[in-house]
Amino acid sequence: MTAEIIIIGDEILIGQVVDTNSKDIARELDRIGISVHQIVAITDDKTHILKTLKDAATRADVVVISGGLGPTKDDVTKYALCEFFDDILVSNKDVLNHIEELFKKIKNTPISELNREQAMVPSKATVLPNKYGTAPGLWMKKAKTVFVAVPGVPFEMRMLMEHEILPRLKEEFNRPFIYHKTIRTFGLGESALAERLEEWENNLPQKIKLAYLPNLGSVRLRLSGKGENEKELISGIEAELNKLYPLIEDIYSENINEDDDITVTLSKLLVSKEQFLCAAESCTGGEVAARFTINPGASSCFKGGIIAYATESKKELLNIPWEIIEEHSVVSGEVAEAMATNAKKLFKSQYAISTTGNAGPKKGESEEEVGTVFIGIATPERVFSKKYMFGKNREQIVKKTVNKAFQLLLRELVKK
C-alpha cells in the first residue's frame, strides 16, 4: 500500500510559499497504514502534470493531487486529469448549486462566470463535496490506482481528507497496520546518543525502523513498524522501548505523541499540578506566549504575558527598577530575573518565563552582541537566568530562545 502526493503550484517552485499540504496529507495517509514513498511538487503546466500522473500510476496505489483547481487561468489540474483519463468536463448540478449558495450566504456577491466553470468536472469522476470552498474534490480510478484531486487551500484540503477521502480509502483498500512511537530526549547530541544506542539499534528486529530527529536542543527517537498483525507489532515495539529506557534514563526523556510540541508536555504537567505560567518577553516579542497558547486548553495553565519591547515598557509595565537596567544593561541576567519575578507576581502565577536579548540586526540599546539572549525562569521556589549566544539570524535567535526557554522550564517541572 503506497501513495504518492503531487503538489501543483508555481508558487512552491519559485520558493514563495512553504508547502504544508503535503505534510498534512502524508500524516493522514500514514496513520491509516498507507505509506507515502514520494512527494513531488511541480508547476501549473499541463504536460508536466500529465507526465507526473503517468509516472505515479506505474508505482502507487493512491495518488493525491493538491492544487490547481482554482477558477483562474493558471489552474490546469482538471484539464490534465481529463487528458490522462481520456475524459471531458461536464457541468455538475450539485456543485453549481453549492457554489451559488456559498456566494449568496458568505460572499454576498453574485456568482461569476469563472465560478460557474468550477462546477465543470471530469465526467468519470466521483465528485467529493467541498463545503468550505468552490472547487470540489475529485475521485477517479485507473486500473487499480485511485487518483484524488483536492484544492490547494489548506483548510479545504484538510476537510476533504477527513470527511471524504480517508473514509473512502479505508473502505477501498486492505491496509497493513502502521505503528510509530516517538521518544523526546534532552541533553545528548545526535551522534553521542547514536553511539550509546548502537548495540540496541543493531539488534532491532528488521521490521522495526529507528530514526533520529534532532531539533534545536532535543533529539527525538522514532520507532516505526508496519505489519499485518497489530498486536504483534505493538508488543514488538513496546518490548524494544523497554530495552531502550534504561539506556537513556540519565537524560530526560518522555514518550510523546508524534506531533506533540514541547508545549503540550508542559501544559499537561502544569494542569496536573494546577499551576499557571506567564511570560515577560522582550526579544521574543510574544512568541513564547503565542507558541504556548496555540494548544487547546492553554487557558487552564497560562495566565498571560507582557511584551516589553521598548525599554520604557520594561520599566513602566513590568516595574523593572531603572537602577537595575542602568547598572546591568537591558540585556542582562539581572533584568531577565527581575522580569520573570515581576511577571509571576503581576499574573499571580507559579511559573514565569522571561526573555531579553538582542535579536539584531542592529545592536539596539544594549552593548551586547547580536545573538546574546538571557532567559529567566521563575518557579515557586526560586528565580534564575541563563545566558546564550544564538548566532546572527533574527528568526533563528527567536526560535532558539523560545525552545530553550521551554526546555529550561520543563526541567524545573519534572524535578518535582
The residues in 71-130 that bind its own copies, with binding defined as CB under 8 A, are 71-74, 107, 109, 112-115
* Cβ distance to its own copies smaller for residue 87 or 261: 261
Alpha carbon of 57 to those of 5, 38, 143, 145, 176: distances in Å?
A: 12, 12, 9, 6, 21
Residue 264 is placed in which grid cell? 503540550
| Count of chain residues binding its own copies (CB under 8 A) | 106
Binder among 398, 405, 409, 410 for its own copies (CB under 8 A): 398
Neighbours of 92 (CB within 10 A): 19
Q: Which stretch binds its own copies (CB under 8 A): 138-146, 261-269, 306-314, 325-333?
A: 306-314
Looking at residue 155, its amino acid is: F
| Residue ranges in 259-288 that form contacts with its own copies under rule CB under 8 A | 259, 279, 281, 284-288
Query: Does residue number 222 form part of the binding site for its own copies (CB under 8 A)?
Result: yes
The C-alpha cell 539584531 sits at 360
Please list the residues that pair with 386 across neighbouring strands. 375
- Cβ–Cβ < 8 Å for 157, 75: no
Q: Which stretch binds its own copies (CB under 8 A): 137-145, 237-245, 305-313, 326-334?
A: 305-313
Which has the closest alpha carbon to 372: 329, 339, 343, 408?
329
User: What letter would DSSP give residue 50?
Assistant: H
Looking at residue 68, its amino acid is: G
d(CA 286, CA 359): 13
Query: Does residue number 347 form part of the binding site for its own copies (CB under 8 A)?
Result: yes
Binder among 292, 351, 374, 406 for its own copies (CB under 8 A): 292
Smallest gap from Cβ 194 to its own copies, in A, equals: 5
The C-alpha cell 521490521 sits at 207
Pairing of strands 277-281, 351-357: parallel
Query: Does residue number 210 form part of the binding site for its own copies (CB under 8 A)?
Result: yes
| Residue ranges in 179-198 that form contacts with its own copies under rule CB under 8 A | 180, 182, 189-192, 194-195
Residue 231 is placed in which grid cell? 498486536
Q: Which stretch binds its own copies (CB under 8 A): 247-255, 355-363, 379-387, 403-411?
A: 355-363
- Cβ–Cβ < 8 Å for 302, 263: no
* Cβ distance to its own copies smaller for residue 87 or 198: 198
Smallest gap from Cβ 86 to its own copies, in A, equals: 25
* Cβ distance to its own copies smaller for residue 70 or 137: 70
Q: Which stretch binds its own copies (CB under 8 A): 76-84, 308-316, 376-384, 403-411?
A: 308-316
Alpha carbon of 110 to those of 94, 97, 160, 369, 375: distances in Å?
A: 18, 13, 25, 57, 54
Query: Does residue number 321 form part of the binding site for its own copies (CB under 8 A)?
Result: no
| Residue ranges in 138-157 that form contacts with its own copies under rule CB under 8 A | 153, 155
